[in-house]
Amino acid sequence: MQKFLLGYGDGATGKSSTNAGIHAILGRENVSAVPLERFGDRFALYGMHGKLANIASEIGAIDKAAEGHLKALTSGDLFEFERKHKDPFYAVPTARLIFATNNLPRFSDRSGGLWRRMILMPFTEVIPEDERIPGMDRPEFWEASGELPGMLNWALIGLKRLQAQGRFTESSVVSAMVDDYRRDSNPAQTFLLDHYREHEHGQESKSEVCCQIRFQAHDSMIPIIREKNHGKPDPTKLSNAEAARTGDRVHPRSRDPGCLGCAA
């Protein structure tokens, strides 16, 4: 299955306790803990080799190299592992990727490949302080609890259902959250969808659209994306939008390439 799990929620919602339980079921020697922001470090990923799961908490800033390795590690294909001062080798990754975070990372993927792989698990209930059980966020707690056989049985029931369905059970609520998350990770697309509509004869210059996006980004304190990433079919995601070259259909306010099929 080309999937990774991303647990998301405020503190004291059970993310760490859930991961600790999974850690205990699999066994400490079978789990690595390489954080997502280190996926761009070619040597760090060797720590996952031969493991059943990679369970990491909190996510810092990530780059495109980390995103690329995240997709590669969940593809099921051969992956190149490297160790310092030793020859690299190829192997199929065995570790299932599980992350938990209070703040969702900003992904730059525009292909959809990363988003198709994501299973977003929201943790929404904050446990009152007087109901919290100390130590539940540690594998040792679950190893001593006597609950592991029952937890394993739950996992086997889920595995049987997964094999019968051939896919994970989808939640419409979670799917909507992923769609919103994807839009929030692409400020340019969000701006265009919110402020423009498709129109057969509509046209807006690329420079004008980029100017508006920069103004909105500055006003909203969001990262500014360079102009070369705008005015093209991919960031707009509008089916009738296409780049117009100078001399074809030129917006009267500009002779730059424009965005056809869009109307403000």
Same domain, 201 and 250: yes
62, part of any domain: yes
Last residue of a domain, one of 109, 144, 171: 171
Q: Is residue 177 part of a domain?
A: no
Residues spanned by the domain of 239 = 186-263
What is the per-residue burial (b if ≥16 Cβ within 10 Å, else e) of 186-203? bbbbbbbeeebeeeeebb
In terms of domains, do 164 and 89 share one? yes
End of a domain among 140, 171, 202? 171
Whether 21 and 133 map to the same domain: the answer is yes
- 176 within a domain of the structure (yes/no): no
Q: Are both 162 and 214 inside the same structural domain? A: no
Q: Check residue 256 and give its pLDDT.
A: 43
Residue 180 domain flag? no
pLDDT at 233: 36
Closest-CA residue to 174 (of 113, 124, 125): 124
**Is residue 210 domain-resident?**
yes
Q: Residue 192: what pLDDT?
A: 74
Please check whether residues 119 and 59 belong to one and the same domain. Answer: yes
pTM of the model: 0.76
Give the CATH number of the domain where residue 127 resides: 3.40.50
* Close Cβ partners of 151 (under 8 Å, ≥ 6 residues apart): 21, 24, 25, 142
Is 179 part of a structural domain of the chain?
A: no
Tell me, yes or no, whether 222 and 100 share the same domain: no
Q: Are residues 167 and 190 in the same domain?
A: no
Tens digit of pLDDT at every position of the chain (264 positions) = 899 999 999 999 999 999 999 999 999 999 999 999 999 998 999 999 999 999 998 888 899 999 999 999 999 999 999 999 999 999 999 999 999 999 999 898 888 899 999 999 999 999 999 999 999 999 999 999 999 999 999 999 999 999 999 999 989 989 999 999 998 887 776 677 677 777 777 777 777 777 776 766 656 555 544 444 433 333 334 334 443 333 333 333 343 444 545 555
Q: Does a structural domain hold residue 43?
A: yes
Domain count, the chain: 2
For 113, how many CA atoms within 13 A lie in the half-sphere containing its CB?
A: 12
Same structural domain, 155 and 195: no
Q: Is residue 181 part of a domain?
A: no
Residues 207, 126 share a domain: no
Q: Are residues 153 and 200 in the same domain?
A: no
What size, in residues, is the chain?
264
Per-position DSSP letters for 185-233, written without gaps between them: T-HHHHHHHHH-EEEEEEEEEHHHHHHHHHHHHHHHT-PPPPGGGSSSH
| CATH at 224 | 1.10.10.10
Residues 134 and 30 in one domain: yes
- Assess whether 8 and 137 both reside in one domain: yes
pLDDT digits (tens, 9 = 90+) for 28-85: 999 999 999 999 998 999 999 999 999 998 888 899 999 999 999 999 999 999 999 9
Instruction: Out of 142, 171, 200, pick the residue that ends a domain.
Output: 171
